[in-house]
Structure 1
Amino acid sequence: MNAVAEQTAKPDVEAAARAKALYDYGPTPIYASKHDPRFAYCLYVPPTLGQGGEKPELIVAMHGTGRGFTGYRDAFSAFARWNNCIILAPLFPIGVMGDDNKDGFKYMREGNLRYDHVLLAIVEEVSRRYGVAFDRFGLFGYSGGGHFAHRFLMLQPNKLWGVSIGAPGSVTLLDPSRDWWVGTRNFAALFGQELDIPAMKQVAVQMIVGAADLETWEITHKPGGRNWMPDANHAGTNRPERLASLRDNFAENGIAARFDLVPNTPHDGVKVVPMVEDFFAGELRRIRTARKAG
């Protein structure tokens, strides 16, 4: 290469490196999913990713009905830096079927969509971009995201090492006497797979809700509502009661769960993030210790 060519190439290399540092690390821009551009995501990627010997892990922070996905990404960013994790915050927009439905992702099926498959495709995309295989990951969801998190556990337990289920307005119980979404009687017919409770037992589970999260106006199902079905309200009146019903139901099926009832806390997902980080930190220590021992 002659001197002129070298001078031309050097700025190009420097520009590419600066662009990579700006857009691929730290809080990233919002990307459309290659699998289905109706869906999007952003990331927090530690600038030191890949510089140490320890394999990074992935934590997915699922938004609620308000779709405040960048807020959860930012809330976990310091944790990601100190614990060598990528934070993935998906965006599942309202009305992807053209009908203004804001709840579709919560119940995992909408038209021909499977929202667990949408998330897995995004995870695979992130894996390819950063050259790290995320065979299992951690999942946090609060409010509408709590709906998604516990149902994703039922559908994809082999993809998770931990799940934090935050304040869902409604819960699906492992109940063979009632249909989905209240129970799981027709689970196999709807999803083409059987429930794998032994696999669910292998996933660390946290359930978290504010003790003052007692408003019921948004979560009381009524006849004629989009998600109404018999026994829609039978798990309890408010979010703490419904999450406690899920905890007890899991326990009856041999699935242990850490239950955090956060004092003096209303319905505010960002306020519970420190306790969720404590849960994830413990699981990351366990995973990494076992990996070193193995």
Structure 2
Amino acid sequence: MRTKAVAERSRKNASPFLYRRTSFIAYGGDPRFSTCLFVPAAIRQICVYVHGTYRDAAFYRDQLTDFAIRNQVLLVCPLFPAGLIEPWDVDNYKLLRFHEIRYDLVLLGMLEEISQRYAVSADRFMLGGFSGGAQFAHRFAYFHAERLSALSLAAPGRVTLLNDRLDWWSGLRDAERLFGRAIDIPALRALPIQLLVGANDDDDITIAEDDPGWTPGANQAGATRRERLDSLYRQYQRIGCDANLEVIANCGHEWTPLREATIRFFEASLLAAG
């Protein structure tokens, strides 16, 4: 592992495109994946925000840059490209496992590289995502809650309930076998969780049984994103999680109206951490 002194020397010789609003940077552990960052002059903590199906990672980085500057946050927006292995696939990262790829471990590897490059701790970080990114984020938290200081979930379409009678991804019955670790319920309870959805995000997204994404229990949480997020919220409440559900007026399935609530939540988390 590189020392902090080596990281400092590398910083002095680095391209300016690797600071502040960066270009996309390949992940050394698997260059199929990359990140775009905002790197402030002083760094207090890392915040990861994960794109939805359109994979507009730079959009979220740019929308959260003012927050990052104000709070000395290194902002990490990974890019998980579509069409890997299966040319028509767009959902790969959302369920954490896809063929031989473990997307949760890809993210942790990215953060280890970033930690070394910028001499900042990645032991704990804030995590958020919109739509498909929120699918990834809540599933990541099931296996790595101890690494998170805050979790913001904005309008996920398919949710994994805390149900040990159904297999992954609708439930958790075989999750320990698939991922090699059990869900850490005490760590999940200790994690501040924000759930966000637009009041008008009410399209029917029922998954048909002939859909490649269907699995038994796929529609157990409801037919719309609002219904599904409410089901997830009630489950989090049932096990004693520190969770809060916000329904944003005059908002459909879109992120921009959710931006201010997202930032307020992350800033409150930073304030609570001291």
Quick check: 1:27–1:45 contact (8 Å CA) kept in 2?
yes
Structure-2 residue corresponding to 1:141: 129
Structure-2 residue corresponding to 1:180: 168
**RMSD of Structure 2 on Structure 1 (CA):** 1.4
Task: Quote the Cα distance in structure 1 between the aligned partners of 2:13 and 2:259.
Answer: 32
Following TM superposition, by how much is the alpha carbon of 1:24 offset from its aligned partner in structure 2, in angstroms? 2.4
Matched, 1:287 2:259: no
SS at match of 2:242: coil
Following TM superposition, by how much is the alpha carbon of 1:177 offset from its aligned partner in structure 2, in angstroms? 1.1
Following TM superposition, by how much is the alpha carbon of 1:274 offset from its aligned partner in structure 2, in angstroms? 0.9
Q: Which runs of 4+ in 1 moved over 2 A?
A: 16-20
Quick check: 1:72–1:270 contact (8 Å CA) kept in 2?
no
Q: 2:233 aligns with which of 247, 256, 266?
A: 247
Q: 1:224 aligns with which of 204, 207, 210?
A: 210
Q: Could you report, residue by residue, the CA deviation over 1:151-185 in whole angstroms, capped at 9, with x for unpaired residues?
A: 01101111101100110011100011111111111
Structure-1 residue corresponding to 2:53: 65
Following TM superposition, by how much is the alpha carbon of 1:259 offset from its aligned partner in structure 2, in angstroms? 0.8
Task: Quote the Cα distance in structure 2 between the aligned partners of 1:185 and 1:252.
Answer: 18
Following TM superposition, by how much is the alpha carbon of 1:82 offset from its aligned partner in structure 2, in angstroms? 0.4
Following TM superposition, by how much is the alpha carbon of 1:19 offset from its aligned partner in structure 2, in angstroms? 6.0
SS at match of 1:257: strand
SS at match of 1:271: helix
Q: Could you report, residue by residue, the CA deviation over 1:57-116 in whole angstroms, capped at 9, with x for unpaired residues?
A: 000010000101000000000000000101100000002224321111101100111110
| 2:23 counterpart letter in structure 1 | P
Q: 1:115 aligns with which of 103, 108, 115?
A: 103
Q: Could you report, residue by residue, the CA deviation over 1:193-250 in whole angstroms, capped at 9, with x for unpaired residues?
A: 111101111111000010011122xx32111211111221121111111000000011
Following TM superposition, by how much is the alpha carbon of 1:285 offset from its aligned partner in structure 2, in angstroms? 0.7
Q: Which structure's CA Rg is the greater one?
A: 1
| 1:280 counterpart letter in structure 2 | F
Q: 1:257 aligns with which of 243, 247, 258?
A: 243
Following TM superposition, by how much is the alpha carbon of 1:133 offset from its aligned partner in structure 2, in angstroms? 1.2
Task: Quote the Cα distance in structure 2 between the aligned partners of 1:30 and 1:117.
Answer: 19
Structure-1 residue corresponding to 2:28: 34
TM-score between both structures, scaled by the size of structure 2: 0.93
What number of residue pairs does the alignment pair up?
A: 264
Task: Quote the Cα distance in structure 2 between the aligned partners of 1:19 and 1:172.
Answer: 42
Quick check: 2:208–2:214 contact (8 Å CA) kept in 1?
yes
Quick check: 2:45–2:121 contact (8 Å CA) kept in 1?
no
- % identity of equivalent residues: 39
Task: Quote the Cα distance in structure 2 between the aligned partners of 1:18 and 1:113.
Answer: 33
- Return closer, same or farther for 1:282/1:223 CA change in 2, 3 Å cut-off: same
Following TM superposition, by how much is the alpha carbon of 1:17 offset from its aligned partner in structure 2, in angstroms? 6.0
Matched, 1:125 2:104: no
Task: Quote the Cα distance in structure 1 between the aligned partners of 2:20 and 2:118.
Answer: 13
Matched, 1:100 2:88: yes
Structure-1 residue corresponding to 2:159: 171
Quick check: 2:190–2:242 contact (8 Å CA) kept in 1?
no
Task: Quote the Cα distance in structure 1 between the aligned partners of 2:193 and 2:201.
Answer: 20
| 2:38 counterpart letter in structure 1 | Y
